[in-house]
Amino acid sequence: MDAEAAKLIGAGIACIGMGGAGIGVGHIFGNYLAGALRNPAAAGAQFTNALIGAALAEGLGIFSLVVALLLLFVA
Amino acid sequence: MANDPIHQFQIKDLAGPVNIGGYDISFTNSALFMGIAVASITAFLWYASRKQALVPDRTQSVGELWYGMIHSMVKNVLHEEGMKFFPLVFSLFSFVLVANMLGMFPYFFTVTSHVVVTAALAVFVVGLVVVVGIWKHGLGWFKLFVPSGVPIVILPFISLIEIISFLSRPISLGLRLFGNMLAGHIVLKVFSGFVVSLVALGIGGIVGAIAPLAMAVALTALEFLVAFLQAFVFAILTCVYLNDALHTHH
């Protein structure tokens, strides 16, 4: 296989990892909303924690995006 | 190339090349927009706090909202003893927020879409955690990597994982901000590029361009949310990491 083609395929495969980050972020905010609807009084204090969790989950997805961009523009 | 999505991140010399000792320290568009960000933060906060009226006007309430949001966030995470870090967290938040928001203007340069800027901020934060931790606790700070109540058999593995997770913090903190801003601006450019190429095709293309145009407008709104959220997340994570420097047991 041509090296350039392999690079493009690799970048595409690397982007699959972002789907996992999407699942994770959706899971966090879905569960936050479910908890918030059960106990709205406690929801405000936990929103910061929900954001921290979402940021940590999203950061891992960003890693796969960075791998894809490295393959496309640097490697 | 008109539709090249990476072109917008190019760093350009504005005043001609300046080299000192082999290092390129020219005044670039990145440096210009960092300066604009700092100048606009200073000017806005000075203007908002000039009267300090008991009943605030609109500008003053925006300034108070801005200050109060970070103040309560630092107080919730770091408590009273950590309030000496409030100026640092507020400066970091303001710089990242205004740099992100400036990037949303057409033809403006996004400072935070370069990994060198975000990684420098992140390495500074995590380096500060190490310095403050050792300053406050001495070598006892390294108990952070040895959680209490763990069976001795698996303790080496847990410590290894703790050390790896600590060392990956500057990488993830810097790459998160960089990746979000870079990806957002590339997506905006790609959808705007669809509109331009479709309109060039003629009347059928103009009808077809409505969908990507609507998508570009919706994504612009999303990018404003992301610009704010990433600045806030950067500030929260700075507080969470600084909390490790103040309290070793978790």
pLDDT of A37 > 60? The answer is: yes
Count: domains in chain B:
1
Rounded-to-integer distance, Cα B8 and Cα B4, Å: 8
Q: Six-digit token pair at B35?
A: 């300066």
Rounded to the nearest 10 degrees, what angle do helices B210-246 and B58-78 cross at?
A: 50
Chains A and B form CB pairs within 8 A to the count of 40
Across the interface, whether the CB atoms of A55 and B73 are under 8 A apart is answered no
SS (H, E, C) A7-40: HHHHHHHHHHHHHHHHHHHHHHHHHHHHHHHHCH
From the CA of A58, how many Å to the nearest CA of chain B? 8
Closest chain A C-alpha to B106 CA, distance in angstroms? 23
**What tens digit of pLDDT does each residue of B79-118 get?**
888 899 999 999 999 999 999 999 999 889 999 999 999 9
Q: What is the mean pLDDT of residues B222-238?
A: 93
Strand partners, B23: B20
State yes or no: pLDDT of B2 exceeds 80: no
Contact A62 B240 (CB under 8 A): no
Q: What ipTM score was computed for the predicted complex, to two decimals?
A: 0.80
| Angstrom distance (rounded) from CA B130 to CA B109 | 33
Tens digit of pLDDT for each residue in B112-158?
999 999 999 999 999 999 999 999 999 988 888 888 888 899 999 99
pLDDT at residue B148, rounded to an integer = 84
Domain-located, residue B2: no
Task: Give the homologous superfamily in CATH for domain A3-73.
Answer: F1F0 ATP synthase subunit C (1.20.20.10)
Q: Between A54, A59, A73, which is nearest B175 by CB?
A: A59
Contact A48 B73 (CB under 8 A): yes
Query: E strands within chain B?
Result: 19-20, 23-24
Q: What pLDDT, on the 0 to 100 scale, is given for residue B60?
A: 93
* Nearest in space to B163 (alpha carbons), one of B148, B145, B143: B145
Q: What is the pLDDT of residues B159-199, one digit of tens each?
A: 999 999 999 999 999 999 999 999 899 889 989 999 999 99
In B, minimum Cα distance to A15 occurs at B183
pLDDT digits (tens, 9 = 90+) for B30-50: 999 999 999 999 999 999 999
pTM metric for this prediction: 0.89
User: How crowded is residue A19: how many other Cβ atoms within 10 Å of its Cβ?
Assistant: 11
Helix (H) / strand (E) containing B152 = none
Handedness of CA B238, B241, B247, B250 (dihedral sign): positive
- What sign has the CA pseudo-torsion B161, B167, B170, B171? negative
Whether B94 has its CB under 8 Å from any CB of chain A: the answer is no
CB B47 within 8 A of CB B39: no
Q: Which of A12-16, A70-74, B23-27 has the highest mean pLDDT?
A: A12-16
Q: Which helix (H) or strand (E) holds B232?
A: helix B210-246
Residue A55 banded pLDDT, cuts 50, 70, 90 = confident
Let me know if residue B1 belongs to a domain.
Answer: no
**B69 interfacial to chain A (CB closer than 8 Å):** no
Residue B3: its pLDDT value, please? Answer: 67
Alpha-carbon torsion angle B2, B3, B4, B10, nearest 10 = 50
Contact between B172 and A65 using a beta-carbon 8 Å cutoff: no
Q: Name residues 135-174 of chain B within 8 A of A (Cβ).
A: 172-173
pLDDT computed for residue B1 by the predictor:
47
- Within 8 A of B228 by CB-CB distance, chain A residues are none
With contact defined as beta carbons under 8 Å apart, do B231 and B97 qualify?
yes
